[in-house]
Amino acid sequence: MHEVFAHQHSQAAAWAQAAADKAAGRPLDWTSILGDYTACLDWPAAAVWKELLAANPKAKVILTVRHSFDVWYDSCLKTVWAVMEPGLSIRPPVTLEPVFGSLRKIFEVQVDLVWGPIFGGLERFKDKEHVRKAYEAHLAEVKRVVPPGQLLVWNPMDGWGPLCAFLGKEPPADGAPFPWVNEASEFRKKIKGLEVLQRELEVATWVQWGLVAAAAGVVVALVARSRSLSRAGGT
């Protein structure tokens, strides 16, 4: 997801097309979506894991889990779910659409690829027992489809050991601890930032329409004056 936001203008369009292709049952254009990337994680890529595996049948798959569904659900509700409403509320004025339109589209793609197909919609995510069934069904389906030798079921608390062994890599030589990112506090900052952006874009929209109205008023006044002068010149 970090890369999607970092390259939102190209990535938003590519993933929007991927969502449309998946919904229509068409093959996904991996060249447009992934380009030179050799691995991906997080949403929206995780929402098309079956298609990725079909296109790369020997790929290694890491299924991340938490200590329990309750831990995962509470975390998700405070972070990735909470950030969706302010993200979807971004409505830039026409003049700023090229700048901020892609940002809103990324959130729309998440609805089309993730929240809708997997959980039945953003509002349905509030139904904890419904989400529990979707969560457990997802874990079971990944374990069923991915060949055992290509699958690692991994909890981030397990650290470098099993992850590096699975990928055939050495743990950091300096003994660096496993990184911990995307904490709830970070998401609260993101949510606040999106809310501020939303308010600023609302102001920009009103300013834009105010300028349009003012310009229209000037045109009307000039036309009226021109007609008045024409009548005066003709008498």
Question: Distance between CA atoms of 131 and 129, rounded to whole angstroms?
Answer: 5
* Nearest residue to 55 via CA among 87, 76, 33: 33
Whether 16 is covered by a domain: the verdict is yes
Domain containing residue 188: 2-198
Whether 235 is covered by a domain: the verdict is no
Whether 193 is covered by a domain: the verdict is yes
Tally of structural domains, the chain:
1
Which of these ranges, 107-121, 160-174, 185-199, 211-225, has the smallest mean pLDDT?
Answer: 211-225
Task: Return the amino acid letter for 122.
Answer: L
Return the CATH number at 170: 3.40.50.300
Per-residue model confidence (pLDDT) at position 108: 81
Whether 220 is covered by a domain: the verdict is no
Whether 226 is covered by a domain: the verdict is no
Rounded average pLDDT over 97-126: 77
Q: What is the mean pLDDT of the chain?
A: 76
User: pLDDT category, 88, cuts 50, 70, 90?
Assistant: low
Whether 114 is covered by a domain: the verdict is yes
User: pLDDT category, 219, cuts 50, 70, 90?
Assistant: very low
**3-state SS, residue 51:** helix
Q: Say if residue 87's pLDDT is above 80.
A: no
Question: Which tops the pLDDT comparison, 154 or 230?
Answer: 154
Question: Distance between CA atoms of 224 and 72, rounded to whole angstroms?
Answer: 66
Q: What share of the chain is helix, strand, coil (3-state, %, to 5)?
A: 70, 5, 25
Q: Say if residue 121's pLDDT is above 90.
A: no
Whether 205 is covered by a domain: the verdict is no
User: pLDDT category, 102, cuts 50, 70, 90?
Assistant: low
Q: Say if residue 26's pLDDT is above 50.
A: yes
Q: Say if residue 179's pLDDT is above 90.
A: no
Are 46 and 117 a contacting pair, CB within 8 Å?
Answer: no
Question: Distance between CA atoms of 114 and 81, rounded to whole angstroms?
Answer: 11
Whether 96 is covered by a domain: the verdict is yes
